[in-house]
Amino acid sequence: MNILILGAAGQISRMAADLLLRQTDANLILYARRATSRLKAADPQRVRLVDGDFTDTQTLTKTMQGVDVVYVNAAGDKAAKQVIAAAMQAAGVRKVIEASILGIYDEVPGAFGNWNKGMVGPSRIRQVAEATRVFENEAFDYTILRLTWLYNQAGNTAYMLTQKGEPFVGAQVTRQAVAQLLVDIITAADNRFAKTSLGVSEPNTDWDKPSFY
């Protein structure tokens, strides 16, 4: 399996790449601005570094040849996602996992929902919601990850999922857990993650705000 990680210099992307190398036999393409100077190929036999940005259609399309899964972390950048989507279609790639944010369907109830809107801002939430629709359609085998508030805690890979249409539950989740979820989605033997938009949080964190605020 060949996996392309777009935005590979980000924290979750780096963690996921490390887990994929340790838990699978997949080959990785790590795509980022100045990837060859910012990143290191931990296993040169399985990892390829590509310098590029999300607006470089030619480089993206070339890089996507033979790719099975694309992971995208571009949140509210609709223009970038449109370029990525066009490159995927040109290369014949359908499976995409996208990192997004909670609240794009107005699905976060109660005090936490109000706190989240106040912190993120309605205009930013609308921007991300519109950008998410680039992949959330019949052209792609998509998995949208609506991530709650993130923090780091080594060894904590606990996550829980809510489906689109369900109230979002959970005020925080570790980046380590999100990285493990990415591996679990990529290695799933069935189609339970196909064409889903998943709320991602940590169990037992149904609070008014994250513990670190």
Give me the CATH number covering residue 91. 3.40.50.720
In a domain, 206, yes or no: no
CA–CA separation, 193 and 188 (whole Å)? 8
Range of the domain at 172: 2-201
In a domain, 37, yes or no: yes
In a domain, 212, yes or no: no
213 residues of the chain, pLDDT tens digit each: 999 999 999 999 999 999 999 999 999 999 999 999 999 888 999 999 999 999 999 999 999 999 999 999 887 899 999 999 999 999 999 999 999 999 999 999 999 999 999 999 999 999 999 999 999 998 999 999 999 999 999 999 999 999 999 999 999 999 999 999 999 999 999 999 999 999 999 999 999 999 999
Q: Check if the beta carbon of residue 106 is closer than 8 Å to that of residue 165.
A: no
What's the pTM value of the predicted model, to 2 decimals? 0.96
Q: Check if the beta carbon of residue 136 is closer than 8 Å to that of residue 146.
A: no
CA–CA separation, 145 and 100 (whole Å)? 6
Contacts 24+ apart (CB under 8 A), 19-22: 19/179, 19/180, 19/182, 19/183, 20/182, 20/183, 20/186, 21/46, 21/47
